[in-house]
A and B are shown apart, each in its own frame.
Chain A
Amino acid sequence: MQLQYFLLVAAALFCIGIYGLVTSRNAIRVLMSIELLLNAVNINLMAFSNYLDASSIKGQVFTVFVITIAAAEAAVGLAIVLSIYRNRDTVDMEQFNLLKW
């Protein structure tokens, strides 16, 4: 087991998340893609924490913080999607252009 394996898995997961974030049109799927991105970052932090900082595991502490922020982000993001759905009657990302020039 090497550090590089975990970093490669995290990079692949990050790229999949970016692809989903850009291409998906359902707003909830965009939120799921953001969760994928945060998890890829978490895998990176945990791998570095285990292989480079094994005794004082600060990467795990950061991972716990990232999990906390991700939970808050999911709650607020779903509330925003729900509010937009109630006002605009759609979840299509292409129609959420209130702030577009």
Chain B
Amino acid sequence: METILAILGLIVQYGLFVILFGMGFFVGGYIEKRHYKDIHRRERELLHLPAVSMSWKALHQENAYQVPVVEARMVYGSVVLSEDYFKAFLLALRTFFGGRIVAYETLIDRARREAILRMKAQAVGADIIVNTRLDTSTIGGGDVKAKTTKSIEVLAFGTALTFQKQPDGAA
């Protein structure tokens, strides 16, 4: 009788952890894989609209970019991504032993690329986005000890330029 109670106690104590752990591993992994697939597809579609980190002055020195600009406007895109339970566990493990945390590298990589894609989606009809800047911040997880939502926000912003169309259609 006492052994059964002990086993029940163990299940109650660790069962929730195991369920959350498995959910984080399987569902989180699936979400990440699907997101990467989506990012790759949209990046291919938006290849004609490059986002460069140079300022317009530096770019204007080059021969290819001496066309008159007819439109300049600021575009921005942002995304808030959250870690999953499995990643949080890996982080706790890694902060103990030290070393690379690949799970968080992919998380931040996804957020940055998504933000750039959303910025590009705002720049419909433009030819190039110059002076692209990326800004990362964590929200809701100020206190390390508190078990609160840890999520990262990435903001991408830049200036979308539209060049004057050449009469012969060369540009």
Q: Are A and B part of the same complex?
A: no
